[in-house]
Structure 1
Amino acid sequence: MARISFPEQGFGEHVDWALLRADMAVGMGAFSEAVYGNSTLPVREREAARWTIALINDCAVCQGTRARDGEAAGVDEGFYAEVANWRESAALTERERLAAEFAQRFALDHQAMDDEFWARLRAAFADDELADLTICCGLFLGLGRTLAVIGVRAPDERILV
């Protein structure tokens, strides 16, 4: 049950609560659309980062969300299980593991992103890809943490991003 009261608008708790501040909700939606509509990261890499942060945030909405093009990209429930254990996974590529590690550090200890870590990132990703990953993680952490704090339930119908 959500931690604040709001009128039901018919969009589901994950949206309805934010309509208490509709002008701000529009901005959140625009940020989400900017990320999912414009990210050029491969789906598996983006999802490795998103899923890592979804688990950290303990966000029911984020954990119930899946990649729209996931099936074609080989993103299934087995993939999400591998990402949950990215350090030990032999099924993930180096870039997918780095995306998960980046997301974890971004969410839990951004000060631990030292020169050695950035050297590993830059050996695997171009600067525009790192900018993409950083912006994605900003959305994942901020919006996911917001939904978790409010305590909204995942909608009955799965969200595809």
Structure 2
Amino acid sequence: MSRIGDFAGSAENELAGWIVQSPEIGTAMAGFAHTVYNNNRLPMRVRELARIVIAHDNECAVCINTRDADGPAAGVDEELYQHADQWRTWSGYSEQERIAAEFAHRFATEHTKLRDDEGFWERARPLFSDELMADLALSCAMWVGMGRMLRTLDIGQTCHLTLPSRA
């Protein structure tokens, strides 16, 4: 049960209902989320693996259960999600996906150690341009913040979302 508001009805009502509690900030956050999902330069598999790793770190059920409608066309299958906790070792991830997962996990759990880890940055540099790293970092910022807000306020934790297709 949500800690703020009574958002009875559909899952979409519950997930969007919190915005009315803070319309200006909530609307801006919705715009940020829209941009992360629709204007991101990361390959979708890289983006989705980073997102699902943070979803697990946040223990956010709605984030864990979210899928992108365009995912299958971009090579995002259920195996990508099912092995997210094994990002270090599962052979189905590319090196770029693995670096994105490591960045996401450490961004969510040990950001200052990540900042100072020269070995990580040496491994990431050949796989991520500055522009892609900016997209990854900004996306992680949105996922950490939104996931923790949704989890803390117990909003949408029984929802299964499919992000709309961009076509």
Same topology, TM > 0.5: yes
For 2:98, give the aligned amino acid. Answer: R
Residue segments in structure 2 that go unaligned for 5+ positions in a row: none
SS of match in other structure, 2:34: helix
User: For residue 20 of structure 1, what is the aligned residue in structure 2?
Assistant: 21
Task: Kindly provide the CA deviation profile for residues 123-160 of structure 1, in whole angstroms up to 9, marking residues without a partner as x.
Answer: 21111111110111011111111101110124656231
How far has the Cα of 1:22 moved from its partner?
Answer: 1.3
Q: Residue 118 of structure 2: which of 109, 115, 120 is its match?
A: 115
For the Cα contact (< 8 Å) 2:104–2:140, is it kept in 1?
yes
User: For residue 88 of structure 1, what is the aligned residue in structure 2?
Assistant: 89
Residue segments in structure 1 that go unaligned for 5+ positions in a row: none
The alignment's C-alpha RMSD in Å is 1.8
How far has the Cα of 1:35 moved from its partner?
Answer: 1.1
User: For residue 46 of structure 2, what is the aligned residue in structure 1?
Assistant: 45
Taking structure 1 as the reference length, the TM-score comes to 0.92
Q: Does 1:5 align with 2:9?
A: no
Taking structure 2 as the reference length, the TM-score comes to 0.88
Q: Which moved more, 1:24-33 or 1:12-21?
A: 12-21
State how far apart, in whole Å, the 2-side matches of 1:7 and 1:67 are: 24
User: For residue 153 of structure 1, what is the aligned residue in structure 2?
Assistant: 156
The alignment-based identity, stated in percent, is 40
Q: 1:131 to 1:156 in 2, by over 3 A?
A: closer
For the Cα contact (< 8 Å) 1:54–1:62, is it kept in 2?
yes
For 2:148, give the aligned amino acid. Answer: R
For 2:84, give the aligned amino acid. Answer: V
State how far apart, in whole Å, the 2-side matches of 1:85 and 1:5 are: 37
For the Cα contact (< 8 Å) 2:65–2:159, is it kept in 1?
no
Q: Does 1:65 align with 2:66?
A: yes
How far has the Cα of 1:7 moved from its partner?
Answer: 5.3
For the Cα contact (< 8 Å) 2:62–2:159, is it kept in 1?
no
How far has the Cα of 1:101 moved from its partner?
Answer: 0.4
How far has the Cα of 1:68 moved from its partner?
Answer: 2.5
User: For residue 135 of structure 2, what is the aligned residue in structure 1?
Assistant: 132
Q: Does 1:144 align with 2:147?
A: yes
For the Cα contact (< 8 Å) 2:151–2:157, is it kept in 1?
no
How far has the Cα of 1:5 moved from its partner?
Answer: 2.9
State how far apart, in whole Å, the 2-side matches of 1:25 and 1:35 are: 15
Q: Which moved more, 1:113-122 or 1:90-99?
A: 113-122
For 2:17, give the aligned amino acid. Answer: D
Q: Which moved more, 1:91-100 or 1:18-27?
A: 18-27
How far has the Cα of 1:63 moved from its partner?
Answer: 1.3
Q: 1:60 to 1:128 in 2, by over 3 A?
A: same
